[in-house]
Structure 1
Amino acid sequence: MSYDKVKQATQLIIGMKQTLKAVEQGMVKEVFVAKDADPKVTGKILQLCREKEVPVEVVDSMRQLGKACGIEVGAATAAILINE
């Protein structure tokens, strides 16, 4: 289950802007995108991940992704860093 991967990660990036920046810099091992996030927000990250060949896992909800990240609010995206 992908939420377990997120919970166990020690080097986690949460949020769209930080995830985008980390993927652009080639620092990301895997990206998680919430299915219920705004496609205008997630489209850019999905496109970039395809270009950079970074694996993407779509998860059910922003709320659950945020919870897995250990935050009280929803998260549209999260990423696990390569040097994890």
Structure 2
Amino acid sequence: MTGLQGKKKVVGAKETARALQDGRAAVVYVAEDADARVTAPVLALCEERGIKPVMVQSLAALGAACGVRAGAAVAAELKEQ
């Protein structure tokens, strides 16, 4: 997985869902070991918007790719404006 540290992004389920709803999400990343209660609404929005989510091995790996200390269940790379 390429690092997201230098790219415009949002981290977390609420922010990612908002980006999907607003049409700002270009790529959505989902940690495979994240709780389904957190990821299911985001995955449903991805399907609705025609965006195929990129599955990432773990919360820790996605968090590290995003440059955050804690794990991340979901994140989205934003479209260029």
- Return the TM-score normalized by structure 1: 0.89
Structure 2, gaps ≥5 residues long: none
Q: Where do 4+ consecutive residues of structure 1 move more than 2 Å?
A: none
Map 1:1-84 to 2 at 5 A. Answer: 2=1, 4-7=2-5, 9-83=6-80
More helix by share: 1
Paired residue type of 1:81: L
Paired residue type of 1:72: R
Q: Percent identity over the alignment?
A: 37
Structure 1, gaps ≥5 residues long: none
**Is the Cα–Cα contact under 8 Å of residues 4 and 67 in structure 2 kept in the other structure?**
no
Paired residue type of 1:26: G
**Is the Cα–Cα contact under 8 Å of residues 32 and 57 in structure 1 kept in the other structure?**
yes
Return the offset for 1:6: 2.6
CA root-mean-square deviation: 1.3
- Distance, in Å, in 2 between the alignment partners of 1:65 and 1:10 is 14
Return the offset for 1:25: 0.4
